[in-house]
Structures are given as structure tokens and as C-alpha cells.
Amino acid sequence: MLPMASVLLVEDDHVVRGAMLRSLADRGHAVHAVGTALDALRRVAAESPDLVVLDLGLPDLDGGDALRMLRGITDVPIIIATARDDEHAIVRLLRAGADDYMVKPFTGAHLDARITSVLRRAGRPNRPTPTTYVIDGLTVDVGQRIATLDGSELHLTRKEFDLLAYLAGRPGQVVPRRELLEEVWRQPSLGEDQTIDVHLYWLRRKLGETAAKPRYLHTVRGVGFRLVAPASG
């Protein structure tokens, strides 16, 4: 099985987008989701994902035109995912640069299998996956999903661990709230609710600190959060 892939999901239907995003994330992929062709072009130009899943019925640009524009800036594999099943259209899209084509509805397992197959054919190099982050007395083993503080294991919920691991992978960096909502919770529609604050509260308690007296987890008001070693805070 290939290691986790970075997937850009381009789908304007927020219900379908949310379901596909959660399904791929649960299967180990790092997924970014956008709803327009313009956002897809910007994201590909800025980050160059491993693969793009492209819907054709986009609000700002026909998917076929979006495919041609994407091919003008990147050679990453592109899987077309749409309700259209016209054979001539499929042939045109494949000739225009699509690597595969899926007709809705399909399951998350089916899409995951197609992604794995396309990436294997494309010969994507294996990405080294960080296994352990060490920040002073805090150790976060991503592979084993174990976190320890000064040698003692922390008993974290799944989301507490995901949040800690995401911040630990970016030591010293200020991570915006919106980024945490999108990358850790995989649900951009959550908006500015109290989800992050609640999880940070319990995570801080387990790290032996508080918002008023932080050791590792620091709040940058109006922006986000950063994780640093106590001596650097």
C-alpha cells in the first residue's frame, strides 16, 4: 500500500465534498477541498498536491476547461469525478490530460483504490512520513499514535492527539485557527465555534499547563496557536 497522499478535492456540492473528504481522510490521505476551479488553480500552483480529484460541474468554469488549465501548470495525476457518463466526453477528457474517470455515485473505497492505482502508474515517489516529534520533554510518535511527557504516556483522545501532532509537526510556527479546523477536523464548515478551544483546554490540562500559564501550547490572539519548548516560550 502506498503511503499517505496529498489529495486536492475539487467539488462544489458541499454535502458530497464533505463526505468524500472524510472518507479519504479516514483512509489516511491528506485532503484539501475547494469548491471552484479558480481555487483549485490557486491551490495547485501554491502547493502541488500528489493528485487532484476534479468534478466537472463547477460554478465558475466548466470542468473540461478547468482540466486544460490545470494541465497548463501541473503534471500531477487528475481523476475526473462526475455524474456525466457520455463515452465521447470521457474520451475527450482523457485525451485532454485526465488520468482516470469515475462516474458518480461511487464509494470512498472505490475512489481510494483508483487513487492508489493512478499514483502507482504515475510512479509517485514515496514520501518520508515523520514518525516522531521531540520538543523538549514532549515526544509525539505519529506512527504509533503515542505521546509522552517527561517519559510518562499521555492519555489523549483521538482528536487531542491529532491536534497535538499537527502542532508538534510545526514547532514554533503560528498555526491559524482556520487551518486547524480544515486539517485536523476536516470540516471547514465548522467555522469559528468552540471546538478548538475545548480540545485545547483538555490538552493543556493533560500537559500540566493552562492558557494563563502555558508551557508548550501558546495562544496568539486573533491568529492561532503555536507549540514551543518551555524554555523558548
Q: How many domains does the chain have?
A: 2
CA distance 131 to 117: 25
Residue 189 is predicted with a pLDDT of: 47
- Cβ-Cβ contacts under 8 Å for 182 (sequence gap 6 or more): 32, 188
148 with 180, same domain? yes
Residue 1 is predicted with a pLDDT of: 38
118 with 136, same domain? no
> Could you tell me whether strands 30-34 and 51-54 are parallel, antiparallel, or unpaired per DSSP bridges?
unpaired
Q: Name the residue range of residue 194's domain.
A: 132-232
* Within a domain: 161: yes
List average pLDDT for each run of 10 residues in the chain, which is 233 residues long. 72 87 82 90 86 91 87 90 80 87 86 86 59 90 89 92 90 87 66 77 95 93 90 55
* Within a domain: 1: no
Residue 4 is predicted with a pLDDT of: 66
181 with 75, same domain? no
160 with 180, same domain? yes
- pTM over the 0.75 mark: no
* Within a domain: 145: yes
CATH for 167? 1.10.10.10
Residue 9 is predicted with a pLDDT of: 92
* Within a domain: 113: yes
